[in-house]
Amino acid sequence: MAKTTSKTAVSDDNLMARALREGFYAALVALGLFILFVGLKTDQNILNELILVQRWGLLAVFVAIAAVGRFLTVAYIRPFLARQKVTDVVTGLLPDSVATRFFRMPALIVAAVIAVILMFAGETIGAAVPAALAPWVTMIRAFAIIYVLAFGFFYFRAYISAHFNMLALIALLIYPPLMVYLFGFQGSLKYVDNFGIQILIYVMLAWGLNIVVGLAGLLDLGYVAFYAVGAYSYALLSSYFGLSFWILLPMAGILAGFWGIILGFPVLRLKGDYLAIVTLAFGEIIRLVLINWTAVTKGTFGISGIAKASVFGIWSFDLAAPNNFAKVFELPMSSAYYKIFLFYLALALCMLTALVTVRLRRMPIGRAWEALREDEIACRSLGINTVTTKLTAFATGAMFGGFAGSFFAVRQGFVSPESFVFLESAIILAIVVLGGMGSLVGIAVAATVMIGGTELLREMTILKQVFGPEFTPELYRMLIFGLAMIVVMVWKPRGFVGSREPTAFLRERKSVSGSFTKEGHG
Amino acid sequence: MSDTLLHVQNVETYYGNIRALAGVDVEVRKGEIVCMIGANGAGKSTLMMTVCGSPQARTGSVIFDGQDITRMPTHEIARLRIAQSPEGRRIFPRMTVYENLQMGASLDNLKYFNEDVDKIFTLFPRLKERQSQRGGTLSGGEQQMLSIGRALMARPKLLLLDEPSLGLAPLIVKGIFAAIKKLNQEEGLTVFLVEQNAFAALKLSDRGYVMVNGKVTMSGSGKELLANPEVRAAYLEGGHH
């Protein structure tokens, strides 16, 4: 890509004119796109009448972002990227990469100083400046901390990518104590529960779906059904028969797996789009049954007051119980212990899912799944029974969905059909696709980015400063989700980790060439 | 007739209402190489697939090693050690060469795997060079070798080859056919192949059949058919070689 001709700026005036023009066009397009979406909003007034709310300010911000973004892209970013590919005439070297320029030692020192000052004196500074500026102080602190952390990641990037799995596991293990240390028991709740547990549940679900979609290649749009089966198995059996979490966790998995087989039988002959539609319908059927079978499931009211899990029956987290965890250890009462316990429980379940997936991939059944994804006819001609292969894939995937479901029920203490809508299936599938089908690490990263990202959006009070106090960032999370999908699919069309790791080697591991061949073509 | 391995008797196969095979009789004896030649759409591949049970024959019967396999599901037929290198090769593109071979040994659960894989690598040294490369990145000839190699991993009694020469350069075809001949002579492997490349196929085979519009119109030893003026006119002259 290196060109030795150094292009003297074609004509700066020309470039500026073009950038301005394109910025203007971008503004026009944005105006056209958003005038009805953002500029106008229907609302109900106090008399319950439908009224039109006009939001021209917000619309102006959207249009301005589009125009300025386009202008900067054309005028500065593109010429910059082009210069990055031109070698220096004197030294014959390419310019430093963006990352090495961005992570310089002086900048690190400045960022570290700002971070330290704001971490210790942030409160006083926040109180001293006008109220409107306070969120900005928080934001500067956040950016400084992120920069310092990112610098560390960048500096040790080779080591990190070589030992990613181990480092990630260690980070997850020390995550709850770290949060408790940083924010106290009450403050850690948000990070351990909303970020930690929530992400881990999605990782578990996505890894379960990965067996069906990623390994066996069966497109399942109704995966949330098994999640629902697991959650309701736990909720119902616990509230009707008083069974404990540790009995119901495997039972929920088995029941969900059983439903996986029930779904599997009628769809054995289907594949691709047809399979997707039938599984989609299956997911909706389960949800509608849950809504309408009010005698058992209490319909849309859901089931509340689900019993909490205990530490193998030794310590309970029920406030009334004599063996309450906090009482036994004479700690102050807090719900944080339970959340931290659930975090480690979720982590253990995730590790179990990963372990089973990795082991199965090396076993005949796992190899048969992958072969099935590649070519069904070839599978049959090699003596593989495709019927049992598909059914085991459905059952195994569903079983992990069931585990995740029962865990979800025990975490929420409440289940209702609203948690199991099609959108959930779509999100789980999106995580699997974004992560790279079949890759456990990629999927875990995708789950962290997508679920953590949407949670983070709730925290971004700074956005209210930009878009006005009416702006609720979490309403835009699907927009961000979609945007992220487009970006990933354009840059890395096969997901974060798009190459498949082979399961067998002759005598020694070798790097595998041709990772990026088009899928399904010889 | 005791040495008959595969006996296709008066088989008719339909795709919906369309009759693809109109009463075909084929016999393959142990240790033979038998070929079926014919033009595009004559029903050659359909015959091969019918032997494998997908689609199944509507009338007539397929007997393998004294056992009626007409109504058996495909994977059970494969378990009787009928291995197939299907039309279009159908290797697993995202799996490595080594893993593809592993899939071929599914029947014995890798019991003879190391021994057999060495044998295949001696037969097709190219595959050894490419063993950790993804199947989809191989050239057409290498894919064909892999497809045959994968079929051989099942330790077959009968090897079915569907157009092994399709889309390959003549030199590579020669190499592949030489490998088939070698297997047949050294290990007594029985081979039934379907080919459009009539000249090469007939030269390789002990016996041959000619198929036209779903019917076998001619049969005889490879040499006889090669010398037959009708066969020459229809399949050899003006076409290949």
pLDDT above 60: residue B1: no
Same domain, A144 and A246: no
Q: pLDDT tens for residues A64-90?
A: 999 999 999 888 888 888 887 777 777
Domain of A155, in residue numbers? 105-161
| Per-residue pLDDT at A393 | 92
Predicted model pTM: 0.82
| Per-residue pLDDT at A505 | 65
| Per-residue pLDDT at A144 | 80
Bigger pLDDT: A176 vs A25: A25
pLDDT confidence band for A403 (50 / 70 / 90): very high
Same domain, A409 and A479: yes
Over residues B100-121, the mean pLDDT reads 87
Question: A118, A134, A161 — which closes off a domain?
Answer: A161
Q: pLDDT tens for residues A130-176?
A: 766 777 777 777 788 888 888 877 777 777 777 788 888 888 888 87
B126 touches B142 (CB < 8 A)? yes
Token output for A15:
């470039």
Same domain, A210 and A120: no
Does residue B102 sit within a domain?
no
B91 in contact with A, Cβ within 8 Å = yes
| Per-residue pLDDT at A521 | 38
Does residue A3 sit within a domain?
no
**B107 to chain A: which residues are within 8 Å by CB?**
382-383
| Per-residue pLDDT at A518 | 42
- What CATH code is carried by the domain that includes residue B3? 3.40.50.300
| Per-residue pLDDT at A85 | 77
% of chain A with per-residue pLDDT over 90: 19
| Per-residue pLDDT at A142 | 77
**A386 to chain B: which residues are within 8 Å by CB?**
75
Bigger pLDDT: B149 vs B110: B149
pLDDT above 80: residue A116: no
Does residue B97 sit within a domain?
no
pLDDT above 70: residue B32: yes
Same domain, A118 and A257: no
Q: pLDDT tens for residues B163-178?
A: 988 888 888 899 999 9
Of A38-47, A353-362, A428-437, B27-36, the least confident: A38-47
Cα–Cα dist A488/A494, whole Å = 9
% of chain B with per-residue pLDDT over 70: 97
Other beta carbons less than 10 A from residue B40's beta carbon: 7
Q: Is there a contact between A512 and B154 if contact means CB atoms under 8 Å apart?
A: no
B89 in contact with A, Cβ within 8 Å = yes
| Per-residue pLDDT at A186 | 75
B21 touches B57 (CB < 8 A)? yes
Phi, psi angle pair for A41, to nearest 5°: -145, 135
Does residue A223 sit within a domain?
yes
| Per-residue pLDDT at A461 | 65
Q: Is there a contact between B95 and A383 if contact means CB atoms under 8 Å apart?
A: no
Phi, psi angle pair for A324, to nearest 5°: -60, 135
Instruction: Establish whether the linkage from the previous residue to B55 is cis, with ω within 30° of 0.
Output: yes
Does residue A196 sit within a domain?
yes
Over residues A389-393, the mean pLDDT reads 92
**A367 to chain B: which residues are within 8 Å by CB?**
99, 102-103, 106
| Per-residue pLDDT at B151 | 92
Same domain, A253 and A296: yes
pLDDT above 50: residue B240: no
Spatial CB neighbours of B64, under 8 Å, sequence gap ≥ 6: B5, B6, B7, B51, B77, B80, B82, B158
pLDDT confidence band for B180 (50 / 70 / 90): very high
Residue A479's Cα: distance from chain center in Å?
14
Phi, psi angle pair for A40, to nearest 5°: -120, 145
Q: Is there a contact between A383 and B89 if contact means CB atoms under 8 Å apart?
A: no
% of chain B with per-residue pLDDT over 90: 56
Q: Is there a contact between B137 and A502 if contact means CB atoms under 8 Å apart?
A: no
Does residue B64 sit within a domain?
yes
Does residue A183 sit within a domain?
yes
Facing residue for A521 by CB, picked from B74, B93, B98? B93
Same domain, A417 and A375: yes
Same domain, A326 and A361: yes
Does residue A368 sit within a domain?
yes
Domains in chain A, number? 3
Does residue A304 sit within a domain?
yes
Same domain, A62 and A177: no
Q: Is there a contact between B98 and A505 if contact means CB atoms under 8 Å apart?
A: yes
pLDDT above 80: residue A187: no
| Per-residue pLDDT at A465 | 64
pLDDT above 90: residue A507: no
Other beta carbons less than 10 A from residue A81's beta carbon: 11
Given the DSSP bridges, would you call strands B18-29 and B4-15 parallel, antiparallel or unpaired? antiparallel
| Per-residue pLDDT at A325 | 67
Domain of B13, in residue numbers? 1-78+188-241
Q: Is there a contact between A522 and B92 if contact means CB atoms under 8 Å apart?
A: no
Dihedral over Cα of A245, A246, A248, A250: its sign: positive
Longest C-alpha distance within chain A, in Å?
Answer: 82
Q: Hey, which residues 37-56 in chain B have their CB within 8 Å of chain A?
A: 52, 54
Domains in chain B, number? 1
Bigger pLDDT: B109 vs A175: A175
Q: End-to-end distance of chain B based on CA atoms, in angstroms? A: 36
Of A7-16, A173-182, A249-258, A291-300, the least confident: A7-16
Cα–Cα dist A215/A439, whole Å = 9
| Per-residue pLDDT at A308 | 77
Does residue B108 sit within a domain?
no
Q: Is there a contact between A521 and B136 if contact means CB atoms under 8 Å apart?
A: yes
Does residue B33 sit within a domain?
yes
| Per-residue pLDDT at A122 | 65
| Per-residue pLDDT at A83 | 80
pLDDT above 80: residue B8: yes
Does residue A6 sit within a domain?
no
Same domain, A80 and A113: no
Same domain, A183 and A297: yes
**B93 to chain A: which residues are within 8 Å by CB?**
374, 517, 519-522
| Per-residue pLDDT at A313 | 67
Does residue B37 sit within a domain?
yes
Does residue B213 sit within a domain?
yes
What are the strands of the beta sheet with B190-195, ordered from one edge? Answer: B82-85, B158-162, B190-195, B33-38, B207-212, B215-221
Q: Is there a contact between A512 and B89 if contact means CB atoms under 8 Å apart?
A: no
pLDDT above 90: residue B39: no
| Per-residue pLDDT at A3 | 46
**Chain A residues within 8 Å of chain B (Cβ atoms):** 364, 367-368, 370-371, 374-375, 377-386, 500, 502-506, 510-515, 517-522
Residue A425 one-letter amino acid:
S
| Mean pLDDT taken over chain A | 81
Does residue A215 sit within a domain?
yes
A151-164: b (≥16 Cβ within 10 Å) or e: beeeeeeeeeeeee
pLDDT above 80: residue B93: yes
Same domain, A85 and A110: no
Does residue B10 sit within a domain?
yes
Bigger pLDDT: B209 vs A1: B209
Same domain, A200 and A143: no
